[in-house]
Structure 1
Amino acid sequence: MSEIIESTVLRTEIQVDGKSASYLTVEQDGPAVLLLHGTYWNRVWLPVLDRIAAAGLRPIAVDLPGLGRSGGELTLETGTVPALAEWVARFASALELTGPIAVAGHDIGGAVAQHLLVHGGLELPRMALVNSVTYDSWPVSGVARFRDPEVVAATTADEILAARRQAVTQALAGAATERLITDYLAPWTDARVRRSWMAMVGAADNRYTRDLLPALRRNVTPKLLIWGEDDDFQKVEYAERFASEIPHTTLVRVPGAGHIPTENAPGPVARALVDFFTA
C-alpha cells in the first residue's frame, strides 16, 4: 500500500523480518540513495526528497523498526547500532537494491552509516553524514537519562511526549512551528513507538562510533559532512574534528541551521547531497 505524502513523494512499505518497513521514496529509475534517521523518524528527510529525485537519483528514506510508521518493536538488543545496521542491510535486500548504494545518515542514523561503511553489509561508494553522532558526542543528556531502567519505569507517556516536544522544538530551531512540531511528534502517541524509542536510547553507546575510528582513518571512501552550525545536540566542533582526522572527508557548514538542517535549509542541504552523490 502506498500513500502520496506531497508532490511526487510516496510513503510505502515492504516486509522485513515479517514486519512492515515503512519508507518515503520517489518511485523512479536511478541510482538509489538510502537515507537513515536517528532518534526522530524519516520525516527529517521529507524536505529534500523531491530535490534529490529531480537530479535523477532514487531517494529511499526508511523508518527503522518500531519507529515512525514501521512495524515491529525495538529492544535493547535490536536497538544497538550494529543490530540496526544489519536490519538496514536486510531492508535493502528486501527492496532488491543490488550493487553499490550511497547512504546518508542523520543523528544515530549516521552511526549506522559509519558501521555499514566499516563492517559491510552494504557496498557504500559514498557516505554522507548530516548532523550525525561521532566520536563520544552521544548520547546527549536529554536522552541519556532514559538509559536508567528506574527512570524509564517511572516515566509516564505524557512525560516522554513533553521531553520529545522540547527536543524537537530545539532541533527544528528557526523552522519550528506548532504544526511542524505536532507532525514530528505524531509517532510518539503510539505506546509501541515510545517503547522502541526508549530501547534505542537505552542501547545508545558511543563505543559504537569510537571503535570505528581506526578503520575510518584508513578508509578511502569519499565522505561528506553536512552540518547545521547552530546544533546544540551535535556540535559543529565534532564535524570539524572528523573532517580533519578522517581522510577523503568534506565538510559543508549550514549557517543558521540547527540539528535538523533539512528543515532549516532544504535547498542548500539537497544541493550538497546531490553534488556529492552525482560526482
Structure 2
Amino acid sequence: MADRTRRVAVGELELAYETFGDAGNSPLLLISGLATQMLGWDERFCDQLADHGFHVIRFDNRDIGLSTHLHEGGIPNLGALLRGEAAPAPPYTLADMAEDTAGLLDALGLESAHIVGASMGGMIAQQLALHHGHRVRSLTSIMSTPSRQVGQARPEAQAVLFLPPPTDPDTAAERSLTVYRVIGSPGYPLDEPRVAEVARRAFARGNNPAGVARQYAAIVVSPDRTPGLRELTVPTLVIHGEDDPLVQVEGGLATADAVPGARLVVVPGMGHNLPQPLWPQVIDEIVAHARAAEVGPAAHA
C-alpha cells in the first residue's frame, strides 16, 4: 500500500494527514476519536466519500500516530481527574485540539470545510463549530456527546479503555479485538481480520499510551458544550448507534436536542464503530447533509 501521508506544521506541532479525491472538490475533513489514528477512517470509506465529489482529508490528532507526541506533557492522573480531585491540569483540552484542526485548515489553504467527527472527534468537531463557526460548512457528529456526563459508558465498555497497552503488533491486534468485541456493533459482524490489521499498522506508525492518556484527560477536563451548541447556526447532522455501549445513545440525543435544527439519525444495531454494512447509509447521510448545506442559507453567510 503506497504511503500517501504528508506532514504540515500547525503552530508548534506537526500534523500528519492524507487526502482522497480531487483537490478542487468541496473539502470534507474527518476527525478521529480517542486513541484512534487516522487509520480509523477506513481508506475505502474515504474513497467512497471522495467518489461523491468531495476532497476528503483524514489526519492524526496531536499525541497519536505520526503527528507530534507531547512527551513533555507527562502522564496525567486520570483517576484523580475522573473523581474530581485536585490534580495537575492536563497539558491541553479539547479546545486546543479544535485549534489544531483550524490550524490544519489554515495550513492546507482552506477557508472552510465540511467537518465530520467520530467519538472524541465529534467533540472536537463540536468545539471547532463553537469557536470557528465560519470555518465549518456543515457539522456531522457521530457517536459523540456534548458532555462526558451524558451517555456515559457502560461499565464493561469503560473497562476496556484501561486494558494494558500493547507491547508489539500482535498484542496490539489482540487488544483491539478485545476492545471492539465489547464496544462494536452488536447488530453486525466484527471484521476481525481488518481490526487486527489496522491495529498492527497503528502500532508500527506510533505506539504512544501516554499520549492516549493525555487525550483522555483532555476529554475529562473539557466543559459541557451544551450552552454553546444551543446558539450554533451551523447545519448539523447527528448519527448515533442505538446500541453504543461506550458513548450511549443519550449522547447523540443530547447533541441533537441542543443544536437548533439538527437532524438526528439513530441506527439500530450500531455500537461504537462503523461496520462496513452501514457505510452506504452513513455515507449517504453525510453526503446529503453536506450538499444541502452548500445550497442552503448557511453556505452564503
Q: Letter of the aligned partner of 2:193 in structure 1?
A: R
Contact 1:14 1:20 in 2 (8 A): yes
CA drift of 1:123 comes to: 1.5
Q: Once structures 1 and 2 are overlaid, which stretch shifts more, 131-140 or 216-225?
A: 131-140
Counterparts of 1:177 and 1:146, CA distance in 2: 19
Q: 1:89–1:122: 8 Å Cα contact kept in structure 2?
A: no
Q: What is aligned with 1:43? A: 39
User: Alignment length, in residue pairs?
Assistant: 265
* Counterpart code for 1:38: G
Q: Which amino acid aligns with 1:41?
A: Q
Q: CA deviation at 1:196?
A: 0.9
**1-structure distance, mates of 2:151, 2:205:** 25
Per-residue Cα deviation, 1:159-182 (whole angstroms, up to 9, x for no partner):
995655422333333342332221
The answer to whether the aligner puts 1:237 opposite 2:278 as a matched pair is: no
RMSD of the TM alignment (CA)?
Answer: 3.1
- Partners of 2:16 and 2:67 within 8 A in 1: yes
Say which of 89, 108, 116 aligns to 2:128. Answer: 116
Aligned positions of 1:2-81 closer than 5 A: 4=2, 10-17=4-11, 20-28=14-22, 29-39=24-34, 40-46=36-42, 47-73=44-70, 75=73, 77-81=90-94
Closer/same/farther in 2, CA of residues 198 and 183 from structure 1, 3 Å limit = farther
Among 208, 213, 225, the alignment partner of 2:238 is 225
Deviations 1:143-194 (A, max 9, x none): 86799xxx99xx5645995655422333333342332221332324677522
The answer on whether the counterparts of 1:116 and 1:122 sit within 8 Å (CA) in structure 2 is no
C-alpha distance after superposition, 1:212-262 (max 9, x if no partner)? 211211222210011222211112233223323431100122222221125
Residue in 2 aligned with 1:198? Answer: 213
2: CA distance between counterparts of 1:163 and 1:112?
25
Gaps of at least 5 residues in structure 2 are 77-89, 293-301
CA distance in 1, matches of 2:276, 2:183: 10
1:77-120, CA deviations, whole angstroms, 9 ceiling, x for partnerless residues? Answer: 4552011111112222111112x222111011111111111122
Contact 2:28 2:57 in 1 (8 A): yes
Amino acid at match of 2:109: E
Question: How far did residue 70 of structure 1 move?
Answer: 2.7
Contact 1:37-1:105 at 8 Å conserved across structures: yes
Distance 2:152 2:269 in 1: 23
Cα distance in 1, alignment partners of residues 220 and 62 from structure 2 = 19
Separation in 2 of the partners of 1:263 and 1:224? Answer: 20
Query: d(CA) in 1 for partners of 2:256 and 2:133?
Result: 24
Contact in 1 for aligned 2:65/2:207 (Cα 8 Å): no
Question: What's the TM-score once normalised by structure 1's chain length?
Answer: 0.81
- For residues 222 and 12 of structure 2, the distance between their equivalents in structure 1, rounded to whole angstroms, comes to 30
Q: Is the 8 A contact 1:80 1:204 kept in 2?
A: yes
Q: Which moved more, 1:64-73 or 1:138-147?
A: 138-147
Aligned match for 1:257, one of 270, 281, 285 = 270
> Could you list the runs of 4 or more consecutive aligned residues of structure 1 that deviate by over 6 angstroms after TM superposition?
142-147
Counterpart of 1:228 in structure 2: which amino acid? G
TM-score (norm 2): 0.75
What is the match of residue 84 of structure 2?
Answer: none
Which blocks of at least 5 consecutive residues in structure 1 are unaligned?
none
Q: Is 46-55 or 115-124 further displaced after alignment?
A: 115-124
Q: State the secondary structure of the residue aligned to 1:110.
A: helix
Matched to 1:198, the amino acid is A
